Amino acid sequence: MPEVTVQQVHDLTDRIRGFDLVATNGTSLPPAEPGAHIKLTVTDTAGQSVKRSYSIINPGEPDLYRIAVLREEGGEGGSMYMHQKVKTGDVLEIDLPQNDFPLVESAAKTILIAGGIGITPILAMATALQQAGKDFVLHYASRNHTDMALMTEVLDAANGRCALYFDGGDTSRSMPLSSILGTAEAGKHVYVCGPGGLIDAVLDTARRNRWASENVHYERFTTPAAQLDDTSFEVHLAQSGQTFEVPVGKSVLDVLIDEGIDPLYDCKKGNCGICTSVVISHDGDLSHRDAYLSDSQKAQNDQMCICVSRMQSSGRLTLDL
């Protein structure tokens, strides 16, 4: 696993800290594309080594990965570790850059939407689009001025094509999404990253404005929220003949991991598609909550991302596992 050295740590806001990472021993870092992230190995509150993903803000710059980390008090401690323990000169293990949120550089027009810490991949995209001379606009919302990280960099990258919103915490309400998205056009693409409410609002608006799902791109930093009508159901694995109960609040993937099965997975947020499994049968409706499958793939109900998607009623889901 490659190692990086923390070259500089700087506070971007009260809760967001920036880290500049360079290759340890002066070797070079692999290049990354806009939208890409690295995984850092950190220590959680239980003292276990865990991996946490952070988007690369400056993918065009050689041999330097800039990341920004929001301190999440309610989590397992990965971000607290970054804030409380990691300092200049420390050496961290990383996984090489991976991109589950790639930019369609050939788009005629691009709309970038960010809320809060979701600005990290969106800023990388704005920088790339500006350098390529492409038509784009960036909408960036934050609670208030002091919570808005990387504002100067955003204004520079967007170069006049940027709208800022200060919303006291409800990013999905502050933006006039219907007029921002406008009508669907073949060459028009939208990218959104930020709180789940903002992502869901953009997806709803795009659906209402009849956008093609292929032109709507999003990345979730957190697992999609459980829904009030979630219910437990059975998952049956056709290859091994095993059956397990999937309770409310737990994903199919987590149940399989707990049962000692070794399914393929990576992000656990519905972004990467690695856990996509073939659905053989399902007694009830499937609730697809991933960003990986297209709307037409989801409508066929013959595959699902088992890290986030589930059956929306009790009954049996049979997977080709």
Question: Do the Cβ atoms of 310 and 246 come closer than 8 Å?
Answer: yes
Helices (H) and strands (E) in the chain, counts: 8, 18
What x-and-dash track marks residues 102-141 binding ligand FAD by CB under 6 A?
A: ---------------x--x---------------------
Rounded Cα gap, residues 316 and 278, in angstroms = 14
The b-or-e profile of 25-40 (16+ CB within 10 A means b, else e) is eeeebeebbbbbbbbb
Interface residue with ligand FAD, options 18, 34, 59, 78 (CB under 6 A): 78
13: contact with ligand FAD by CB under 6 A: no
Question: Do the Cβ atoms of 87 and 69 come closer than 8 Å?
Answer: no
Select the residue whose beta carbon is closest to ligand FAD and give its number: 75
Taking the least distance from each CB to ligand FAD, the nearer of 17 and 288 is 17
Residues 222-241 binding ligand FAD (CB under 6 A) are 222
For residue 309, which of 193, 319, 172, 218 has the smallest C-alpha distance?
Answer: 319
**What are the helix (H) ranges across the chain?**
78-84, 119-131, 151-158, 171-174, 177-181, 196-208, 252-258, 295-300
Stretch that binds ligand FAD, among 1-9, 67-75, 145-153, 158-166 (CB under 6 A): 67-75
211: contact with ligand FAD by CB under 6 A: no
Taking the least distance from each CB to ligand FAD, the nearer of 52 and 139 is 52
290: contact with ligand FAD by CB under 6 A: no
Taking the least distance from each CB to ligand FAD, the nearer of 106 and 228 is 228
Q: Is 114 exposed, middle or buried (0-12, 13-18, 19+ CB in 10 A)?
A: buried
Stretch that binds ligand FAD, among 26-34, 73-81, 181-189, 252-260 (CB under 6 A): 73-81
Rounded to 5, what percent of the chain is helix, strand, coil? 25, 30, 45
52: contact with ligand FAD by CB under 6 A: yes
Taking the least distance from each CB to ligand FAD, the nearer of 269 and 298 is 269
Look up residue 218 and give its DSSP letter. Answer: E
Stretch that binds ligand FAD, among 122-130, 161-169, 237-245, 263-271 (CB under 6 A): 263-271
Taking the least distance from each CB to ligand FAD, the nearer of 188 and 269 is 269
Interface residue with ligand FAD, options 20, 33, 72, 290 (CB under 6 A): 72
221: contact with ligand FAD by CB under 6 A: yes
Question: Do the Cβ atoms of 295 and 213 come closer than 8 Å?
Answer: yes
To the nearest whole angstrom, how small is the minimum distance from the Cβ of residue 115 to ligand FAD?
Answer: 12
To the nearest whole angstrom, how small is the minimum distance from the Cβ of residue 87 to ligand FAD?
Answer: 17
Question: Do the Cβ atoms of 111 and 188 come closer than 8 Å?
Answer: yes
Q: Judged by CB under 6 A, how many residues of this single chain contact ligand FAD?
A: 25
The 3-state DSSP class for residue 237 equals strand
Taking the least distance from each CB to ligand FAD, the nearer of 252 and 321 is 252
Look up residue 227 and give its DSSP letter. Answer: -
75: contact with ligand FAD by CB under 6 A: yes
- Strands 216-219 and 286-287: what pairing? unpaired
99: contact with ligand FAD by CB under 6 A: no
The 3-state DSSP class for residue 84 equals helix
Stretch that binds ligand FAD, among 78-86, 201-209, 252-260, 312-320 (CB under 6 A): 78-86
68: contact with ligand FAD by CB under 6 A: yes
CB count in 10 Å sphere of residue 248: 12
Instruction: Using CB under 6 A, list all residues that contact ligand FAD.
Output: 37, 52-55, 67-70, 72, 74-80, 117, 120, 219, 221-222, 267, 269, 271
